[in-house]
Amino acid sequence: MRAPARGMAVLAALLLIAPLAAGAQRRPQPNAKPPAAPSAEQPAPEPSGPPYEPQLLQLAEIMGSLAYLRTLCGGKEAQDWRARMAALIEAEGRTPQRRERLTTAFNRGFRAYALTHRSCTDASQEAAARLAGEGEALSRALAGRYGG
């Protein structure tokens, strides 16, 4: 999956122009002290994620839920969900902030089911089947729309 490049140049230009425009509007006041220099440089703001970011975070959350439920119910592929998530982070985690968002979504899905499902029940298995279907549909939609 490739992040769209257009829009990034416009965003970068706006980020560079905004401080210049703000500085041009300020006029020094008489007897005013000069502004203090910042003690540490501010990190550059992260560019907005790709248009499919919300769906990708939803997919990560589903993967976290499946990692918990399939482990709880002794599914053969239980550990595969963590490996799949690691692959997703490797492919899509271009910045530390993005990796953090993906990891947080995975953990949110994992914890949500850990709070309510303590043993493998019919409800746990039904939830896992439903989530697997949702994840598959979401993966196909993402690949169909944004895949290379």
DSSP state of 26: -
Question: What are 102's two structure tokens?
Answer: 């993906």
Distances in Å between the Cα of 82 and the Cα atoms of 11, 18, 62, 144, 146 are: 34, 42, 12, 24, 23
Task: Give the per-residue pLDDT at 40.
Answer: 56
pLDDT tens-place string over residues 2-24: 444 332 222 222 233 233 233 33
Q: How confident is the model at residue 78 (pLDDT cuts 50, 70, 90)?
A: confident
In whole angstroms, give the CA distance from residue 64 to residue 66. Answer: 5
Percent of the chain's residues with pLDDT above 70: 68
Mean per-residue pLDDT, 24-43: 49
How far, in Å, CA of 106 to CA of 67, rounded?
Answer: 9
* Average pLDDT score over the chain: 77
CA-based max dimension of the chain: 75
Which residue reads 């002290």 in tokens?
33
Q: How many CB atoms lie within 10 A of CB 31?
A: 5
Read off the pTM: 0.67
User: Cα separation of 125 and 72, whole Å?
Assistant: 9
CB crowding 106-123: b at 16 or more within 10 Å, else e: bbebbeebbeebeebeee
pLDDT band at 77 (very low <50, low <70, confident <90, very high): confident
Model confidence pLDDT, tens digit, residues 93-119: 989 999 999 999 999 999 999 999 999
The span from the CA of 27 to the CA of 9, in Å, is 30
CA 134/CA 138 separation, integer angstroms: 6
Residue 49: the pLDDT is 78
Q: Pick the more confident residue, 14 or 44.
A: 44
- The answer to which of 27-31, 70-74, 115-119, 128-132 has the lowest mean pLDDT is 27-31
Do the beta carbons of residue 81 and residue 63 sit within 8 Å?
A: yes
